Amino acid sequence: MYQGDFVRRLETMGGERRHNPLRVDFGLLILLLTLCIAGLFVLYSASEQNMAYIRRQALIMAAGFFGLLVVAQFPVRFWERWAFVLYSGALLSLLAVLLFGVEAKGATRWLDLGFTRFQPSEITKIAVPMMVSAYLSNRQIPPSPKHVAGALLVVLVPVMAIFNQPDLGTAILVFASGFFVLFLAGLKKRYLVGTSLSALAAAPILWLYVLRDYQKQRVLTLLSPEDDKFGAGWNIIQSTTAIGSGGLTGKGWTQGTQSQLNFLPESHTDFIIAVLAEEFGLIGVITLCVLYLLIIGRCMIIALGAQSQFGRLMAGSISLTFFIYIFVNMCMVSGLLPVVGVPLPLISHGGTAILTLFFGFGIVMAISSEPRRIGTGL
């Protein structure tokens, strides 16, 4: 079969670097390193040449790479077994946020640990797909209604907690990461259709009873940003202007007028893609997309070559979630989606988000290094 051939070919590609002492996939590692370095350059420009930002970001990235190497050393089965513990820890910390969280900008998302602040919702981005993967591996394919319900429960408890903080962006991403596992595990088409339809049916209910005023405002702003030029519409007008004025080749590094003259808000965090688009043009955007797609592709190949269902589901979910980050961010900055707080992975300035991503890629590395199990190879 053509499909089988394709799969087989992909798998051998993924399997080539299976045995190495560092237990890392060098292809993926080099791609991540390239992305991080490119990210530092964009950040340098976006932060108005603030070296303090760069040093901090580089330090976090270095810590991330170190964490990645550490995580990669644990066997996949370890993560499968400890998934429940990690998930429980994540739930507990979300509960802690609910009880003792620190409020900032109208949302309670942080835990103050004394020496640093920590955002527990970030860890759920790994813990949830890990828990769902562990739950669904070694069960029947496609998942039975009972297992689907169980998996949804695993997903929805933290999602509701995060949504309540409120943090719509993270809630969507966490839901997506869990849902991807279900999807990859072979969730029946009728469930997919059912989910889509119920999502459509739920939309008016969400709008009327669940979404908060500022969240609704963001949706309305997306539809007509000119209505409130200097208020809610400002961000989106300035970011599309930055992107559009960049043209094909851009205004040059550190030469973007929208970003350098502070017209662009949040230029070093969520809106950093607009800085890149303004200064490096469409060529820069395409280059970044290619880099992202290579990383996603590499992760997918690793997923295909994974030796366990858990590894497959986990690596697959991580790569798709990674893509969703990119997609949501690039769409919201360019005015295709409402503004929800989703940073551009490995480019935006931020601590916990980067560490979480490296944690995820560490697990992918571990999956890529798993020795072939007897009797499961093709």
Partner 1 sequence: MLQDSAISDPRREHRVFSVRLMVAGIFVSALTSIILFRYFDLQVTQHQDYIANSDNNRIHIRPIAPPRGLIFDSRGQVLADNRPTYTLNIIADRARNLDALILQLQSLITISSRDLARFRKRIQRGRTFEAIPLKHNLTEQERAVLAVNGHLLSGAEVSAQLTRFYPQEELFAHVIGYVGRINEQESQNINLTDYQGTDFIGKVGLEKFYEKQLLGSLGAEQVETNARGRVTRVLDRKNPVTGDNLTLFIDSHLQAIAQEALQGERGALVAIDINSGGILSMVSTPSYNPNPFVSGISQRAYDKLLKSTDQPLFNRALRGQYPPGSTVKPLFGLIGLQHKVFDKDYAIDDPGYFYMEGIERPWRDHNSEFGGHGKGVDLAAAIIESCDVFFYTIGIQAGIDLLSKESARFSLGQITGVDLPGEQDGIMPSRQWKTTYRNQEWFDGDTINVSIGQGFMLTTPLQLAVMTARIATRGVPIKPKLVKAINGINIAPEVDGEAIQIDQQHWDYIHRAMVDVVHSSNGTAKGISGDLSYKIAGKTGTAQVISINETERYDSSKIDKRKWDHALFVAFAPAEDPKIALALIVENGEHGSLTAAPIARKVIDAYMANLDSENQSIANTSPLTAATGN
Binding residues (CB under 8 A) for partner 1: these are: 3-4, 6-7, 137-142, 180, 183-186, 237-238, 240-248, 257-258, 261-263, 277, 281-282, 285-286, 289, 293, 296, 300, 303-304, 309, 312-313, 316, 320, 323, 327, 330-331, 334, 336, 375-376, 378
Q: Closest approach of Cβ 6 to partner 1, in Å?
A: 8
| Residue nearer to partner 1 on the CB measure, 46 or 355 | 46
CB atoms within 10 A of CB 77: 14
Strand partners, 111: 118
Residues 180 and 131: their CA atoms lie apart, in Å, by 12
Q: Closest approach of Cβ 245 to partner 1, in Å?
A: 4
The secondary structure of 9-65 as a DSSP string is HHHHHHHTT---TT---HHHHHHHHHHHHHHHHHHHHHTTS-HHHHHHHHHHHHHHH
Angle (CA) 17 23 26, round 5°: 50
Q: Which residues of 1-10 are buried (b: 16+ CB within 10 A; e: fewer)?
A: eeeeeeeeeb
Q: Closest approach of Cβ 201 to partner 1, in Å?
A: 22
- Strands, E assignment, the chain: 102-104, 107-112, 117-118
Q: Is the preceding omega at residue 338 within 30 degrees of 0, hence cis?
A: no
